[in-house]
Amino acid sequence: MENPAQNLRVDSARLWNSLMEIAEIGATPAGGCNRQALTDEDREGRDLFVRWCRDIGCEIRVDRMGNIFARRPGADNSSPAVITGSHLDTQPTGGKFDGVYGVLAGLEVLRTLEDNGIRTKAPLELVVWTNEEGARFSPAMVGSGVWAGEFSLEYGHSRADKSGITIGEELERIGYLGTEPVLPRAIKASFEAHIEQGPILEKQEQVIGVVTGVQGIRWYDVIFHGMPCHAGPTPMEDRRDPVQALSMLCERLYREVRAYSEDARITCGDLRAAPGSRNTVPEEVVLALDLRHPIPEGLNHLHGSLYRLAEQVQEETGTRVEVREEWYSPPVAFDENCIDAVSRAVQTLGYSNRRMVSGAGHDSVYVSRVAPVSMIFVPCEGGLSHNEAESAEPGHLEAGCNVLLHAMLKAAEL
């Protein structure tokens, strides 16, 4: 007998309209989104999400890290849940799809099941994870990280933004300091839909990325300690200018990283000088550094290069260079059964596809510590993300959502 769900498809227009509606929250003049973690805009997006989930009868739970769980009961609620979800927070100049696509693709799956009166055997849970981006509060993925036991709740609550406001204070202020313990319940399988945020799928004209794992990430603060002095009377040779040391280290480190492997990545996305006056040589400059590589040995090699070159620059310039480790997320391999469930869904639906490792970090990295996980990628225009021009085609978003639907149905033993 044919499986009744075989021909189920999501409502592409409803998915697109929900994405455009939530994109209005924190919309920027250049067409992007600024809904940084736990801001009023994040709260507004969360409130809209909760309302949409309640509209289709989901039970809502919020844990003490502000992670939101919308549960759709199954026929057998003693069974572990099949979960999906992602994040609603964005970069300061983020786009309309990073994170939020995974959340609303999950919602569209639940809406489609509701429309068709389908009750899965296992319960389904749709999750919004707190502070995935790590833009306002470091590190990234801290909501899912505390939930998976990587960080303590105290650590999670203590993380402060540049003005010293903490995650705990902001959760309280926006009304998302939940009462539920931050603990994983039994989970059968987890799938996360996301735009690729890179150029591979678009270049190779593949509609779906079957994600087999995530590359490793290491974050550091590199502090260059200078001697503040007057920009005018102080001769150049009498200065201990941290900017000179910083430029030497960056030049050498970028050269080494690029020479080491084409998979290696170095990014300096944030630079702060104190006291921050144009006519005073800085007392210190802080460089926020992001290193990535798909394999542990590669990431460790880059780590070694950083420390060796920092030492070298310190000796040559006399400027103290301090390397502080902020965060380490080792490379992750996803679960073979979940990868197969995504592959089978792609075959059933007939979408072009390829297997790939994610260059970006995702909450699925920490979910994979406690549950079988895979991810579903769709192309984004020009491979652009963390950019207000981020864009994706409705047909691709629909395809990824159909794959998510069928992978979840398979895992939930419809």
Residues in the annotated binding site for Zn(2+): 87, 98, 133, 194, 386
**Binding-site partner at residue 388 among ligand HGY, Mn ion, none, CB < 5 to 8 Å by type:** none
Query: Are 238 and 324 contacting, i.e. CB atoms less than 8 angstroms apart?
Result: no
Between CA 316 and CA 277 the distance in angstroms is 26
CB of 386 to ligand HGY, least distance (A): 7
**Binding-site partner at residue 99 among Mn ion, ligand HGY, none, CB < 5 to 8 Å by type:** Mn ion
Cβ-based neighbour number of residue 325 at 10 Å: 11
230 forms bridges with which residues in the sheet? Answer: 280
What is the size of the binding site for ligand HGY (CB under 6 A)? 6
Chain center to CA of 160: 18
Binding mask 231-260 for ligand HGY (x = CB under 6 A): ------------------------------
Between CA 207 and CA 351 the distance in angstroms is 6
Give how far Cα 314 sits from Cα of 17, 80, 304, Å: 54, 54, 16
Query: Are 252 and 316 contacting, i.e. CB atoms less than 8 angstroms apart?
Result: no
Residue ranges for the binding site? 87, 98, 133, 194, 386
Between CA 178 and CA 97 the distance in angstroms is 26
Cβ-based neighbour number of residue 227 at 10 Å: 15
**Binding-site partner at residue 256 among Mn ion, ligand HGY, none, CB < 5 to 8 Å by type:** none
**Binding-site partner at residue 216 among Mn ion, ligand HGY, none, CB < 5 to 8 Å by type:** none
CB of 372 to ligand HGY, least distance (A): 22
Using rule CB under 6 A, residue 379 touches ligand HGY: no
Among the listed residues 162, 126, 157, the one whose alpha carbon sits nearest the alpha carbon of residue 143: 157
Q: Of 38, 65, 140, 250, which lies in the binding site for ligand HGY, with binding defined by CB under 6 A?
A: 140
Give how far Cα 148 sits from Cα of 64, 67, 87, 145, Å: 13, 12, 16, 5
Q: Residue 140 or residue 211: which is nearer to ligand HGY going by CB?
A: 140
CB of 187 to ligand HGY, least distance (A): 21
Q: Residue 133 or residue 398: which is nearer to ligand HGY going by CB?
A: 133
Binding mask 333-362 for ligand HGY (x = CB under 6 A): ---------------------------xx-
Using rule CB under 6 A, residue 132 touches ligand HGY: yes
Between CA 225 and CA 245 the distance in angstroms is 9
**Binding-site partner at residue 134 among ligand HGY, Mn ion, none, CB < 5 to 8 Å by type:** ligand HGY
CB of 226 to Mn ion, least distance (A): 33
CB of 85 to ligand HGY, least distance (A): 15
CB of 15 to ligand HGY, least distance (A): 22
Span between the terminal Cα atoms of the chain, in Å? 14
Residues whose CB falls within 8 Å of the CB of residue 57, separated by 6 or more in sequence, listed in order: 72, 114
- Interacting residues with ligand HGY (CB under 6 A): 132-134, 140, 360-361
